[in-house]
Amino acid sequence: MHCHQDLVSFFSCGLILAGVWHLVYHRKSQSSYGRYMACPPARMVPARLAWFLQEMPAFIIPLLLMLTTHKSTIMGKYLLLTTFCVHYFQRTFVYSLLMKGKPFPLSVMVTAGLFCSLNGFLQGHYLLHCAQFDDEWFTGYCFKIGLLLFYIGMAINIHSDFILRNLRKPKEVIYKIPTGGLFEYVSGANYLGEIVEWFGYAVANWSFPALSFALFTLCFIGPRAYYHHRFYLEKFKDYPKFRKALVPFIF
């Protein structure tokens, strides 16, 4: 397959515009799923099944592209794309099977699945058919620092999800204040971890598609951290006042 640079640029710009639109559209209220779902729609999907189905394309599509593409002599491309797949393997086959969330609206699941399909193709196609790296790039500081940030962010994300998952006892439906890890400093520690992941990926990749995905992630889940923080402050009078929403000591 040849590089479709115009298509890559179009989809990358689309990710940024979609992120900005979401940021503006939801500046006063959050997407209607989870704790912000006031009136459940008629068509709902169990949380584990919904998360499994919506995240899977972002793992399967890049994997299929790698398996059906002639092997490049620059193995760093495959390392970067494998890093992308590692995240979505964890989200598809580990996180989704352990989560205890509320059922998802079918429309949210379908939209998320379409996004993961598009982004999986975008990142995979760019790295395998468009990216131009020399061998020195993969021994340079940007590549190493980017991968380090990615795996630090992933560790924060997984640990924070573990804390959230174990807040409640079986069959409990009440909300509790999360403690431990980066939750001692921010209300959205799990979101902070994922944002760090994708900005690390963008640094290691040093490409427009990777940067556009990182910016989309920031615009999409950054506000959710803010609304979680506001929710905790309103619900719990003893909520730690020094705790920030997303960035320790700052915001």
* Digitized pLDDT (tens) for each residue of the chain, 251 residues in all: 789 999 999 999 999 999 999 999 877 766 555 565 566 677 899 999 999 999 999 999 999 999 988 776 567 889 999 999 999 999 999 999 998 878 888 988 999 999 999 999 999 999 999 998 887 888 899 999 999 999 999 999 999 999 999 998 877 778 899 999 999 999 999 999 999 999 999 999 999 999 999 999 999 999 999 999 999 999 999 999 999 999 999 99
pTM for the predicted model, two decimal places: 0.92
What's the pLDDT at 170? 76
What's the pLDDT at 151? 98
What's the pLDDT at 31? 59
Using DSSP bridges, classify how beta strands 44-45 and 104-105 pair: parallel, antiparallel or unpaired: antiparallel
What's the pLDDT at 172? 75
Could you tell me the sign of the dihedral formed by the alpha carbons of 26, 221, 163, 32, in that order?
A: positive
The answer to whether residues 15 and 119 touch, using CB atoms and an 8 Å cutoff, is: yes
b/e per residue 88-114 (b: at least 16 CB within 10 A)? bbbbbeebbeebebebbbeebbbebbe
Rounded-to-integer distance, Cα 44 and Cα 34, Å: 12
The answer to whether residues 53 and 113 touch, using CB atoms and an 8 Å cutoff, is: yes
Distance of CA 55 to the CA centre of its chain: 10
